[in-house]
């Protein structure tokens, strides 16, 4: 390994250490209570070393979200590709979304928190744009399934793929937020999402079916 490659690997290793430490601190103490000094202290780095990789705490936060949004997008793509028809593909994507929530609840919460960060101006515009585009891409996976259903005739003509995907997206997030706020029990999550999914599917069918 050459000197350049070794330095690049060291830079990436330090970056991952910063992101891992910051993620742990954000979860344990809350985003607003964590400082760059806290992050540096957790991994015995100087504050200057943190600044070599990130311009602010907000940029670290946004970078964490971006990484896990990519994971969610891949999960939705894989789930949708595995289905035999529109119903199964939508169901697979729904299950993948709920699985992401269950396996990465802390990251899931941060996905919604990003819209309420007070110092958003301290996040590079390019990073905010990437996050927004990835959120749109995740929603777009649902929309692509509905579009394919329209082409195959499985979805009633006249339906808007954009509206249907937004309704499904809103239903999923709404029920998950009920669980997050403890208005429903965790064990009720799958049952309620299943009922909501059936309602959406019934509304997608052609009138003759």
162, part of any domain: yes
Is residue 209 a part of any domain in this protein?
no
Look at residue 148 and tell me if it is in a domain. yes
Among 9, 39, 54, the domain-final residue is 54
Summarize pLDDT for 131-166 with one digit per residue, the tens: 889 989 999 999 999 999 888 888 877 788 898 899
Task: Assess if residue 153 is contained within a domain.
Answer: yes
What pLDDT does 119 receive? Answer: 59
Task: Kindly indicate the confidence band of residue 82, based on its pLDDT and cuts at 50, 70 and 90.
Answer: confident
DSSP string for 123-174: S-HHHHHHHHHHHHHHHHHHHHHHHHHHHHTSS-TT--HHHHHHHHHHHHHH
Is the whole model's pTM more than 0.85, yes or no?
A: no
pLDDT at 117: 59
Instruction: Give the domain CATH number at 43.
Output: 1.10.10.60
C-alpha angle 87-93-99 in degrees, rounded to nearest 5: 135
């Amino acid at each position: 390994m050459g000197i350049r490659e070794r330095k690049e690997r060291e830079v990436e290793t330090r970056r991952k250490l910063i992101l891992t430490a910051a993620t742990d601190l954000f979860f344990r103490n809350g985003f607003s209570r964590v400082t760059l000094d806290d992050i540096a202290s957790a991994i015995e780095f100087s504050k200057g070393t943190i600044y070599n990789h990130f311009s602010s705490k907000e940029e670290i936060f946004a970078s964490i979200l971006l990484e896990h949004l990519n994971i969610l997008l891949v999960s939705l793509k894989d789930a949708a590709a595995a289905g035999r028809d529109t119903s199964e593909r939508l169901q697979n994507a729904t299950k993948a979304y709920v699985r992401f929530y269950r396996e990465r609840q802390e990251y899931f919460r941060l996905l919604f928190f990003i819209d309420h960060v007070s110092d958003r101006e301290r996040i590079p515009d390019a990073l905010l744009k990437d996050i927004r585009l990835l959120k749109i891409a995740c929603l777009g996976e649902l929309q692509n399934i509905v579009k394919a259903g329209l082409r195959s005739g499985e979805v009633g003509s006249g339906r808007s793929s954009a509206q249907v995907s937004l309704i499904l997206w809103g239903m999923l997030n709404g029920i998950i937020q009920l669980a997050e706020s403890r208005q429903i029990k965790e064990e009720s999550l799958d049952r309620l999402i299943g009922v909501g999914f059936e309602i959406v599917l019934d509304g997608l069918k052609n009138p003759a079916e």
